[in-house]
Amino acid sequence: MGASKLDKYSDDINDIAIIAKVFAHPARVKILQFISKQEHCICNDIVDEIGLSQPTISQHLQVINKAGLLKGDFKGKKFCYCLNVSRFKEFQSLFNSFFNKTTSNCC
């Protein structure tokens, strides 16, 4: 989706699309699952667990981070990741609200 076309849609629609992109790839789902079970972790921890290359993991982390689903800070020279639980709750509320408004009594 081109950036110039995003203004055609509501913020809620754009947020759902951004977060849906995260869940559209099994590696990103696995990364989120792994991070959710850790207090915090660095990229190399994820590489060791998931089995993909460090550049590939970094690209997936960028997509996840763009959606606001990660928090973290530097520990020395390494960036430590953890889940942004409040963003997950916002997404859950947004998702529930969106489908409650659009659900009809079909069939």
The CATH number of the structural domain formed by 11-98 is 1.10.10.10
Instruction: Give the pTM.
Output: 0.82
DSSP 8-76: GS-HHHHHHHHHHHHHTSHHHHHHHHHHHTSS-EEHHHHHHHH-S-HHHHHHHHHHHHHTT-EEEEEET
For 39-84, what is each residue's pLDDT tens digit? Answer: 888 888 999 999 999 999 999 999 999 999 999 876 666 788 999 9
Residue predicted with more confidence, 63 or 38: 63
Of the listed ranges 4-13, 15-24, 54-63, 89-98, the one predicted with least confidence:
4-13
Ranges of each domain in the chain: 11-98
